[in-house]
Every structure is written in C-alpha cells, then in structure tokens.
Chains A and B, each alone.
Chain A
C-alpha cells in the first residue's frame, strides 16, 4: 500500500512536471493550473451533458437522456483511451519500476488507476448533471441519482478495456507488420472525428429529436448493452443491474490482466529474421523523398499534431456532404433589415470557387507539415549532411511530403464541395488550382520558418510542434495570407458580376504563383545556406 501511494504520488508529480518543464513554477502553482485546465474541460463537458439532458427531459424522454449521456461519456473516454493506446503501451519507466522492490500489483494498479480515474471523471461529468436533471426536472426518486453515481464508477471499465485491447493490437501490428503505424494513425483520426462530430452536435440532435418515449426505447435497444446499463440506472431493474455488473466487472478484470501481461514483458514477439529482405533500389531523389515520407508517417503523435487541420477539413467536408450546404451558418443565417436573405441561391459558379477555396485555404494554413520538418531531424541531421545529397533536394522533399499529403485531400474536398453546391467543372478546377497554389506557398513559408527557428535538441517529437516557434510563426503568416487571399476573392464576390469574379480569381492565382516563386527563391538561396549551417 505504501509503494502504491509512492507510485501514485510520482505519477502525479510527473504529470504536473510535464506542464512545468522549465521548473520555474512551484509544484503547487503548476498543479493548480493543471486543475484549472481540467475544471474548464469538465465544465465544458458538463454543460453539454446537462443541456442535452434538459432538452430531452422536457420532451419526456427521461430514459433517453440517461442513455445519451452514457453514450457520450463512453465516446469521450474512448477518445482519451485510444489516443493513449496508440502510443507505446510500455511506458519508459516500466523497466526501472520492475527492477525495484515494488510489488507488481502496485505497479499495475498505479498505471491503470491513472487511466481509470480519467475515464471515471468523463463518466461523472456526463452522468451527474444528466441524472440530477432527470431526478429534479423529470421528478424521479433520488435513488436514480445514486444508481447513476455508482454506475459512473463502473461504466469506464468498458472503454478502458477497449483501449487496452486496441493498445495490444497496435503493439502486435507494429511488431509483426508494417501497417501498425498506419493503423494506429487511422484509428486515432477515426476516434477524433467521431468525437468531433458527436460531442458538439449532440445538443442539436437532442433539440431536433421528435420521438415518443416508446419509440426511444426501440432506438435504445439498437445497442443492447447500453440499453441494459440505462435500464439499470433508470429503473434499477435487477436483471439489467446484474448484466451491467457483468459487462463492467469482467472487462475490468480483463483490463488488469492485459495490463499486467504487458508489464511482464510478454509482448507480441515477431521473428523478423526469416522475413525476406528487400533490396529494391531507386533514384537518389526518390530515396530522399521516400525517407522523408516514411519518417513523417512513422509517428502517430507527430502526424496527429501536424495534420489536424487536414483532419478537420476532411471531417467538415464529410459533414457538409451529409447535411448539405444549407446548414452552413455563415451562409444560411444572414439577415438584412430583419429579413433572412437566401445567400446560397445568389452565389454564382465562380463565387462558389472562391467560397470553397477560402474554406480549404483556412485548413491549409493550420496544417503544419513543413514548419517542424527541419527541427524534427534533430541529432540525426548528420546523416543528411554527410551524404552526397544536394541540400535543395532535402528541403524540397519536405515540401513535397506536405504537398502530397494535403493536396489530394483538398482536391477531393474541392470536387465533393463542387458537387454539393452544383457549381460546375470550371468552378471546381479554379478552386483546386487556388488551393493547390495556396498550400504550396504555405508549405514553402512553413519551411522558411522551420529553417529560421530550427531547434534540434528536442527529446520528444511533439515538443518540436507544440513548443516550436516555427509552427506559431508559420500559422500566423499563413492565416494572414489566407485572409489576404480571402479579401481579394470577397472583393470579387461583392462586385457580383461573373466576369469580374473570374478576373479576381485569376488575379488570386497570379498572386499566389508569384509569391510561391518568391518563397522558392528564398529557400534555394537563404534556405540552403541556413540548412548547411545547422548542427545537431
């Protein structure tokens, strides 16, 4: 018990320390800041959960309110859990702890408890407001709130179990196949997208829901395990209580077992010695590009931190494809003299090209692929500098990776948005050209800042992005540039004449191309010299 206490204290200090890297603030101040950030998050989730429950209770859908809060808490816990599980399951301190006279059970419990408590917090912030509203507004006995509170401590066992299972699966894929990294990145993105769409839209969903209590039961029964837990909380049905206990306690035991196995070092060992070695050859440029590409996709943490603009773009485009452009608040909620104006019907084909280019450029500006790409070389910079590779090729491989990642997605989004808005092929092509040029320019600018603010002495790849000045500067300049381009195109839109709008779009293309040539010239002269002077 003493060692468990020590371990928990160390875990806490380590968590606080991660927010106080320079050690300039006291532990109490750092912990207070951490708690405040946590309270803000908790408050945000509690407001979402509470308001959703309130809307549903007002529609006499009391049980459905609990069901929805339960589902939300699971999604949030799953997002945290899966994001964590895509990292290495065995943390850096595990070997050191196992070598100390600490019972393994204490290590397992201390490691699991951190994850479990976070999930419990997710469940509590959703379930407490929801059950309180159901009890007081829906006029139910107080025992419902108590059951909700008790089950909030058990429900997290399910997402925790799933997260650990995912962690084990990714661990296996990483060691046995070359798809582990891709799988882990795709999974992180999928969970993030699920979270992005479900959590912010849940209140709107609850508000628009027009079903009876009986119909809601049919809906809830579509996911039976969630329905059983809901019933256990709502009515205290004995069978559902037993089923809930089984559904939560068994995964909890399995979670402890999986985690303990992981700590034992009994990991999925893959014997690669007999795997056929590939001696495939390629040109120097292709080799440099492949290396840059492989390195980019080798870390989920790095990808998620640099690509979230692209993920958002993809997510919002998919949402627009399902909901239609009538749902865009900026376009559908404009009122003049108290009367709503149907702006959507007034936008011309070139106008749509401008709108979609603006929309995509914004996400291009917050996609940070090139700004950290120089710093991420870190201590390995000696490799590229001592090999006979022209520096220009090294730098343009970085730009090419950025362009090749974002542009197929942005082009696909342009096509999808052109189809949704029925703007035609020419409009679609113009938006593709503008977004391609903008992304090229943004990548070149990002690389320039990456070279200016190169920081090679990092210990964690995410550090390069999160505390990198290159990323901040690149974001500010690229957003400024997106606004400049927006100003130009809005000018064209306001004039209203189709021909003039095309002329403004043409002007935008020329401007972006000119700026790209300028940025290219800076990189080939200043950039090459700067890269050659860097030392890891």
Chain B
C-alpha cells in the first residue's frame, strides 16, 4: 500500500532529515513509526503526504507515485497531523462538509459516516460550534473524522493520540483496527510505546534520519518489551 524506497531529505543548511530510508506498509497493516524527537518521523510522514519535497528516493501509495501523480495519490490518502490546525472560523460541520466535498462523498453517505464517527468520538453535539471554540482534543477528533470520512486506502497519522481522552483514544484504536481489517493500511508515528506494542502489526524505529530496525513486532522485539528494545537499539545506534 505504501512503499518508500531510498528516501533522502535534506533541509536547507545541510541538515539531514531522512537518509536512505526504505520501508513498505502492506494492505491490512497498522505500521508504527517510532523514534526520538527530531529522529525524522514527521519529515518522513510529511514527504509521504506531499508536504515536503525530497531530493532522492521514491514514494508510492497504492502504486501511485506521490511525485508523478500527487493528486491521485492524495485522493487515496488521509493525513492527521500532530497538531491539527484547522480553519478556526468554520464550524466543525462546515469543515467536514468541505472535506467530504473535496473527496466527493455523497450526501447520504457523509451523513451516516459523520453521525457514526462523531457519536463514537462524542463530538456530535459540538459539530455546529466554531472550531475556534474547540479544545486540542476536539480538534484532533474532528481531524480524525475528516480523515475516515472518505475511506482512504492509506491513513497517515502523526502522534494521533496526543490530547485524546482515554475513551476517545480507545474509540480511535477500534476505528483503526476496523479500518485495516477492510484491507486498508495505517502508517503512524507515536511516542507511546505501549500503544505501538498493542496496536501495531509492524514497526520501524528511526534514529538520526536512518532506519535502525523494522519488521513485525515479534521480529523487532522478540521476547523483550518494546521499551527495552527501543532504548537498546537507539543507544547502540549512537
């Protein structure tokens, strides 16, 4: 579903964001991407969703190159940033209608989906309020609904659980699993190793812009805890 090959991204000034990174997310997989702050997680994610240009490597989503055909690649992808800055002066409903219009979600379908997801995340009653009045968690929930609304094939999430209350976090995890069970895929970054351990089918550990480990949960951590393995691998890679 998502194939990254030899991705290299250097920032102006020469700082290497990501160096020769390759990984593949298959249909039905929840793929966790973990690393320290500044390791290159967000850079990789932003390159996947078309926010960052990169000088080397290829990224394809469902076989579509994000460079050669960005619009087609975006039409099968959804992205939830770590800090969802949304249009503050719009209501939640206006924002969701905008997203649904862009992805051409029919009226009947959008109504059913919005009501379902908004009820699951307990935000239905606030949809007519201005986004400016939302808390960080509510904005996060709205961005999540917007992402699930058009049934993308690949969902890219940057720290999706930050700011969510425990109930909403549980609901999102359930939504993520159901989403992948339909043959779609999720690529997400997180700092919460317990979440990655319980939720992911595969993980990749990144340090200093380079991939230091990747594979199924068993392949990466064996019998140890993910926390121990993560600390060990990232220390070794120093």
Does B14 belong to the interface (CB within 8 Å)?
no
Does B97 belong to the interface (CB within 8 Å)?
yes
Does A294 belong to the interface (CB within 8 Å)?
yes
- Chain B interface residue count, CB cutoff 8 Å, equals 42
Interface pair A299/B89, CB less than 8 Å apart:
yes
Q: How many A-B residue pairs have CB under 8 A?
A: 98
Bound CA span A382–B77, Å: 14
Does A291 belong to the interface (CB within 8 Å)?
yes
Bound CA span A387–B104, Å: 12
Residues on B with beta carbons closer than 8 Å to the beta carbon of A299: 89
Interface pair B89/A294, CB less than 8 Å apart:
yes
Residues on A with beta carbons closer than 8 Å to the beta carbon of B103: 387-388
| Residue among B81, B101, B111 making CB contact with A282, cutoff 8 Å | B101
CB distance from A246 to the nearest CB of B (A): 40
Interface pair B89/A387, CB less than 8 Å apart:
no
Interface pair A277/B101, CB less than 8 Å apart:
no
Residues on B with beta carbons closer than 8 Å to the beta carbon of A181: 89
Does A275 belong to the interface (CB within 8 Å)?
yes
0/1 string, B82-108, CB within 8 A of A gives 1: 010111111101100111111111110
Interface pair B81/A382, CB less than 8 Å apart:
yes
CB distance from B138 to the nearest CB of A (A): 13
CB distance from B102 to the nearest CB of A (A): 5
Bound CA span A213–B92, Å: 61
Residues on A with beta carbons closer than 8 Å to the beta carbon of B163: none
Which residues of chain A from 263 to 289 have any CB-CB distance to chain B below 8 Å in the complex?
272-273, 275, 277-284, 286-288
For B106, give the chain A residue with the smallest CB separation.
A281
CB distance from B169 to the nearest CB of A (A): 22
For A295, give the chain B residue with the smallest CB separation.
B87
Interface pair A294/B94, CB less than 8 Å apart:
yes
| Residue among B90, B93, B104, B106 making CB contact with A277, cutoff 8 Å | B93
0/1 string, A281-311, CB within 8 A of B gives 1: 1111011101100110011000000000000
Interface pair B89/A298, CB less than 8 Å apart:
yes
Bound CA span A390–B104, Å: 14
CB distance from A271 to the nearest CB of B (A): 9
| Interface residues on chain A, size class | 35 or more
Interface pair A295/B89, CB less than 8 Å apart:
yes
Interface pair B72/A380, CB less than 8 Å apart:
no
Interface pair A278/B75, CB less than 8 Å apart:
no
0/1 string, A435-461, CB within 8 A of B gives 1: 000000000000000000000000000
Interface pair B111/A279, CB less than 8 Å apart:
yes
0/1 string, B105-122, CB within 8 A of A gives 1: 111001100100000000
Residues on A with beta carbons closer than 8 Å to the beta carbon of B83: 379
Does B126 belong to the interface (CB within 8 Å)?
yes
Interface pair B101/A383, CB less than 8 Å apart:
no
For A282, give the chain B residue with the smallest CB separation.
B101
Residues on A with beta carbons closer than 8 Å to the beta carbon of B101: 281-284, 286-287
CB distance from A416 to the nearest CB of B (A): 33
Residues on B with beta carbons closer than 8 Å to the beta carbon of A147: none
Bound CA span A284–B125, Å: 27
Bound CA span A142–B77, Å: 79
CB distance from A463 to the nearest CB of B (A): 15
Interface pair A390/B71, CB less than 8 Å apart:
yes
Bound CA span A284–B100, Å: 9
Q: Which of B48-56, B187-195, B198-206 lies at the binding interface?
A: B48-56
Interface pair B87/A380, CB less than 8 Å apart:
yes
Bound CA span A287–B93, Å: 13
Interface pair B89/A535, CB less than 8 Å apart:
no
Interface pair B126/A272, CB less than 8 Å apart:
yes
Interface pair B128/A275, CB less than 8 Å apart:
yes
Does B221 belong to the interface (CB within 8 Å)?
no
Residues on A with beta carbons closer than 8 Å to the beta carbon of B50: 385-386
Does A335 belong to the interface (CB within 8 Å)?
no
CB distance from B57 to the nearest CB of A (A): 18
Interface pair B94/A380, CB less than 8 Å apart:
no
Does A533 belong to the interface (CB within 8 Å)?
yes
Bound CA span A273–B81, Å: 27
Interface pair B75/A388, CB less than 8 Å apart:
yes
Bound CA span A430–B53, Å: 47
Which residues of chain A from 376 to 394 have any CB-CB distance to chain B below 8 Å in the complex?
378-380, 382-383, 385-390
Does B74 belong to the interface (CB within 8 Å)?
yes
Residues on B with beta carbons closer than 8 Å to the beta carbon of A390: 71
| Residue among A281, A295, A533 making CB contact with B97, cutoff 8 Å | A281
Bound CA span A383–B99, Å: 9
Interface pair A281/B110, CB less than 8 Å apart:
yes
Interface pair A389/B102, CB less than 8 Å apart:
yes
Does B79 belong to the interface (CB within 8 Å)?
yes
Residues on B with beta carbons closer than 8 Å to the beta carbon of A288: 102
Interface pair A535/B90, CB less than 8 Å apart:
no
Bound CA span A337–B65, Å: 76
Does A480 belong to the interface (CB within 8 Å)?
no
For A380, give the chain B residue with the smallest CB separation.
B85
Residues on B with beta carbons closer than 8 Å to the beta carbon of A295: 87, 89-90
Interface pair A277/B102, CB less than 8 Å apart:
no
Residues on B with beta carbons closer than 8 Å to the beta carbon of A290: 98
For A279, give the chain B residue with the smallest CB separation.
B111
Residues on B with beta carbons closer than 8 Å to the beta carbon of A273: 124-126, 128
Q: Are A386 and B79 also in contact (CB < 8 A) when A281-B107, A295-B87, A535-B52 are?
A: yes
Residues on A with beta carbons closer than 8 Å to the beta carbon of B77: 386
| Residue among A284, A298, A379, A385 making CB contact with B102, cutoff 8 Å | A284
Which residue among A272, A278, A386 has the maximum number of chain B CB atoms within 10 Å of its CB? A386
| Residue among A283, A291, A388 making CB contact with B71, cutoff 8 Å | A388
For A174, give the chain B residue with the smallest CB separation.
B130
Which A-B residue pairs are the 6 nearest by beta carbons? A298-B89, A273-B125, A287-B101, A272-B128, A388-B74, A388-B75
Question: Told that A272-B126, A291-B90, A294-B94 touch, could you supply 14 new A-B pairs with CB distance under 8 A?
Answer: A272-B125, A273-B124, A277-B127, A278-B93, A282-B101, A287-B102, A291-B98, A295-B87, A382-B79, A382-B81, A385-B50, A386-B79, A387-B102, A388-B72
- Residues of chain B whose beta carbon lies under 8 Å from any beta carbon of chain A: 49-53, 71-72, 74-75, 77, 79, 81, 83, 85-91, 93-94, 97-107, 110-111, 114, 124-129
29 A-B contacts (beta carbon < 8 Å) = A272-B125, A272-B128, A273-B128, A278-B93, A279-B97, A281-B106, A281-B110, A283-B101, A284-B104, A287-B97, A287-B98, A287-B101, A291-B87, A291-B98, A294-B90, A295-B90, A298-B89, A379-B83, A382-B81, A382-B85, A383-B86, A386-B49, A386-B50, A386-B79, A387-B99, A387-B103, A388-B74, A388-B102, A388-B103
